[in-house]
Amino acid sequence: MVHADYKEMLPIHALAALDAQDDRVLTEHLASCADCRLELDEWQKVSASLAMTVVLQEPSKEVRARILSSISKSERANVVPLIPQKNVWSSLGSFGVIAAGIVFVALMISVLALWNENRNNQRRLAELATQIKTTQEQLAQQQKLIRQFTAPDAHMTELMPTTSAPGAKAMIAYDKTGHAMLIARGLPAAPAGKAYQLWYIVGTTPMPGKVFKMDEAGNGLVEDQMPTEAMKSATFAITMEDANGAAKPTGGILLHSAF
């Protein structure tokens, strides 16, 4: 959310009409934005004076009766066109001002309600858009994976777990251009700052591949371009490294293909 969004929320906050979530978000922003704090001060003054005005000028029974009778008179005036029409509010005098104040407050409340509803709808819409995007990305990735694993020239190699990763499994598929995709399951989510890394071991030299993390569904997926040296013969291995990846493996081997 940008500064302008918060600014828009200030008057609503001053009237204590923000919903709980917006209120929390705004309160966090206020802690770090002197500009908004200053403006909120102004709005709170306005809000306080508005509340005072409404309370002090709440019409008594008599006033209410006079307003209503004036309005019904003016309605009659509308029915009988021979009587010259007067402006309703000016004929009501100061009572009209009070009535206008009440109408204004009622209008404000309905505007606030609409504003809140609109914000909630926008938020829901943004959530849905994000969900759709994620689903589309997952679908695209799965289709790519299927193509890779079912291509006529696909080489497939299974990686088996060492005792450091019991229950884990991985499969790598690569084509003659060296485009490789690896899918892993059964590995725990890597701790913060760590990730799993793919290695191509050529002879005794480990060549670094890409890093990957396990997703919420427990799948680890990585797409990589194999080094040319690894294409004739290589052992594939997975270790846990820094999230940025390492040039040489530092963690123990968790999974590997046949040596």
13 vs 256 by CB, closer to Zn ion: 13
Part of the chain binding Zn ion (CB under 5 A), chosen from 34-42, 56-64, 79-87, 120-128 = 34-42
Give 26 or 184: the residue with its C-beta nearer to Zn ion.
26
Question: What sign does the CA torsion over 36, 41, 42, 48 have?
Answer: positive
> Given candidates 1, 3, 83, 142, which one binds Zn ion under the rule CB under 5 A?
3
Q: In the chain, what are the helix, strand and coil shares in percent, each to the nearest 5?
A: 50, 20, 25
Q: Which is nearer to Zn ion, 33 or 88 (CB)?
A: 33
Nearest to Zn ion of 33, 151 (CB atom): 33
Collapse the DSSP code of 209 into the 3-class scheme (helix H, G, I; strand E, B; otherwise coil) and give the result: strand
To the nearest whole angstrom, how small is the minimum distance from the Cβ of residue 3 to Zn ion?
A: 4
Q: Which residues contact 159 (CB under 8 A, 6 or more apart)?
A: 169, 170, 171, 172, 182, 184, 236, 237, 238, 255, 256, 257
For the bound state, the minimum distance from the C-beta of residue 128 to Zn ion, rounded and expressed in Å, comes to: 28
Closest CB 37 distance from Zn ion, rounded Å: 8
In this structure, what token pair is assigned to residue 133?
Answer: 């995007």
Of 10 and 159, CB closest to Zn ion: 10
Size of the site for Zn ion (CB under 5 A): 4
Q: Does 231 bind Zn ion (CB under 5 A)?
A: no
Shortest spacing between CB 45 and Zn ion, in angstroms: 18
Distance, in Å, from the CA atom of 177 to the CA atom of 10, rounded to the nearest integer, reads 58
CA distance 2 to 241: 36
Instruction: Find the part of the chain contacting Zn ion (CB under 5 A) among 25-33, 85-93, 149-157, 245-253.
Output: 25-33
Residue type, 255: L
Q: Which of 8, 15, 23, 33 binds Zn ion (CB under 5 A)?
A: 33
Three-state DSSP class for residue 233: coil
Return phi, psi of residue 47, to 5°: -65, -40
Q: How many CA atoms lie within 13 A of 35 on its CB side?
A: 5
Choose between 11 and 206: whose C-beta lies nearer to Zn ion.
11
In whole angstroms, the minimum distance from the beta carbon of 8 to Zn ion comes to: 11
Q: Which stretch binds Zn ion (CB under 5 A): 32-40, 52-60, 98-106, 148-156?
A: 32-40
| Cβ proximity to Zn ion, 7 vs 169, nearer residue | 7
- Candidates 9, 36, 201, 226; binder of Zn ion (CB under 5 A) is 36
Q: With CB under 5 A as the contact rule, which of the stretches 2-10, 76-84, 121-129, 130-138 interacts with Zn ion?
A: 2-10
Are the C-beta atoms of 26 and 9 separated by less than 8 Å?
yes
Crossing angle, helix 94-150 and helix 61-79, to 10 degrees?
80
- Phi, psi dihedral angles at 235 (to 5 degrees): -100, 135
Residues making contact with Zn ion (CB under 5 A): 3, 6, 33, 36
